[in-house]
């Protein structure tokens, strides 16, 4: 019998966390689902852990594949999924026991294309947590007009209402006939997919309970790895949102998009300075950014949040990567000294 829900878990080098993740899924109060574990060429014991759960529970299906990244793994799971709705869980996180009972009740009762809940972020090292914000109207349908008039403009102003991630949602499977995860992207793939879905979604529902638990572990995560090509992602994501501005005749909102990504670029330049790259590699990345015509155009209208960013803006216009590097390096050194006192 065809399940209502398919849950896809992309798996790579998470043997210390995987059992907690799978147990939290299999112990759901809603039980009519298939769990698709995609072993993305993991070199540790993840494959064996997956096989154990397949023997233990008939709802578990496994894909063993060569490593291709999280987007590739999710897309493979989507390909074999049988459910009317699809959900994603990251393998080092857990979900609350009633997550899919709550989300599916809203999806089926309100005929929703996407159902969203807040994410509870748990910092394991500091034993603290925070909860992401959502749209103010919960447990009611947000139709296409409201999405176009309120949700999309809010996204363009960088108010994301927990819409960026893919793990805190239920999706109607038919949405993936139009878009899938971009396998050549290794950053922001969730956000790009969700922003595209907003352009074709007929209705959206938010629930107020934080049902997804995202753990910030001490270990190095993919999101903490320095990326030499990160500026390419910045440019690509900015281009996507400007295209959305243009398609919805929201050209006045392009200033918000440009301002946000200029700020992201300036933050990235500071990360370049702190990175383990050689000095010449750092100069090369910074120089590429400073000589980008579009960055310079966006910089003219950039609203600086502090005096320090005003200085960065001036030095960027100067197009001297060595001088800019020295300013940031000196500021970082001074900050380290302050932190000691």
For the chain, strand residue ranges (E) read: 5-11, 33-40, 60-65, 85-88, 94-95, 114-116, 119-123, 128-131, 142-143, 169-172, 203-206, 212-216
Domains parsed from the chain with CATH numbers: 5-222 (3.90.550.10), 226-340 (no CATH)
Please say if the pLDDT value at position 171 is more than 60. Answer: yes
52 contacts 39 by C-beta, under 8 angstroms? no
pLDDT at 341: 63
Q: Which range is least confidently modeled, 98-102, 138-142, 165-169, 195-199?
A: 138-142
Q: How confident is the model at residue 4 (pLDDT cuts 50, 70, 90)?
A: very high
Question: What is the rounded average pLDDT for all residues in the chain?
Answer: 93
For 154-279, strand residue ranges (E) read: 169-172, 203-206, 212-216
pLDDT in tens, 27-59: 999 999 999 999 999 999 999 999 999 999 999
CB neighbour burial string for 18-57, b if at least 16 within 10 angstroms, e if fewer: beebbebbbebebeebbbbbbbbbbeeebbebbeebeeee
Strands 85-88 and 212-216: unpaired
170 contacts 211 by C-beta, under 8 angstroms? no
What pTM value is reported for the model? Answer: 0.90
Spatial separation of the C-alpha atoms in residues 205 and 135, rounded to whole Å: 9
Q: How confident is the model at residue 201 (pLDDT cuts 50, 70, 90)?
A: very high
Spatial separation of the C-alpha atoms in residues 84 and 111, rounded to whole Å: 12
Please say if the pLDDT value at position 219 is more than 60. Answer: no
pLDDT at 28: 98
Spatial separation of the C-alpha atoms in residues 200 and 192, rounded to whole Å: 13
Q: How confident is the model at residue 340 (pLDDT cuts 50, 70, 90)?
A: low
pLDDT in tens, 132-169: 999 988 888 999 999 999 999 999 999 999 999 999 99
């Amino acid at each position: 019998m065809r399940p209502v829900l398919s849950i896809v878990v992309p798996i790579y080098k998470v043997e210390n966390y995987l059992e907690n993740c799978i147990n939290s899924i299999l112990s759901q109060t809603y039980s009519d689902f298939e769990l698709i574990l995609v072993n993305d060429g993991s070199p540790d014991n993840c494959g064996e852990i997956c096989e154990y759960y397949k023997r233990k529970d008939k709802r578990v299906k496994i894909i063993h594949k060569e490593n291709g990244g999280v987007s590739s793994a999710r897309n493979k799971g989507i390909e074999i999924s049988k459910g009317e709705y699809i959900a994603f869980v990251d393998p080092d996180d857990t979900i609350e026991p009633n997550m899919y009972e709550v989300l599916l009740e809203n999806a089926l009762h309100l005929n929703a294309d996407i159902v969203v809940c807040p994410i509870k972020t748990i910092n394991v090292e500091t034993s603290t947590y925070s909860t992401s914000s959502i749209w103010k109207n919960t447990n009611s349908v947000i139709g296409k007009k409201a999405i176009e008039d309120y949700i999309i403009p809010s996204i363009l102003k960088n108010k994301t209402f927990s819409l960026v991630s893919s793990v805190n949602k239920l999706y109607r499977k038919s949405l993936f006939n139009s878009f899938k995860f971009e396998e050549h992207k290794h950053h922001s793939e969730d956000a790009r997919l969700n922003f595209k879905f907003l352009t074709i979604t007929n209705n959206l529902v938010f629930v107020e309970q934080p049902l997804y638990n995202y753990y910030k572990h001490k270990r190095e995560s993919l999101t903490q790895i320095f990326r030499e090509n990160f500026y390419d992602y910045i440019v690509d994501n900015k281009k996507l949102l400007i295209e959305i501005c243009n398609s919805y005749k929201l050209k006045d909102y392009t200033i918000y998009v440009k301002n946000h990504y200029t700020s992201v670029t300036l933050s990235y330049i500071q990360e370049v300075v702190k990175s383990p790259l050689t000095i010449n590699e750092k100069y090369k990345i910074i120089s590429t950014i400073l000589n980008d015509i579009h960055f310079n155009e966006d910089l003219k209208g950039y609203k600086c949040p502090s005096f320090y960013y005003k200085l960065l803006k001036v030095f960027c216009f100067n197009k001297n990567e060595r001088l800019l590097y020295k300013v940031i390096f000196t500021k970082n050194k001074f900050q380290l000294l302050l932190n000691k006192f």
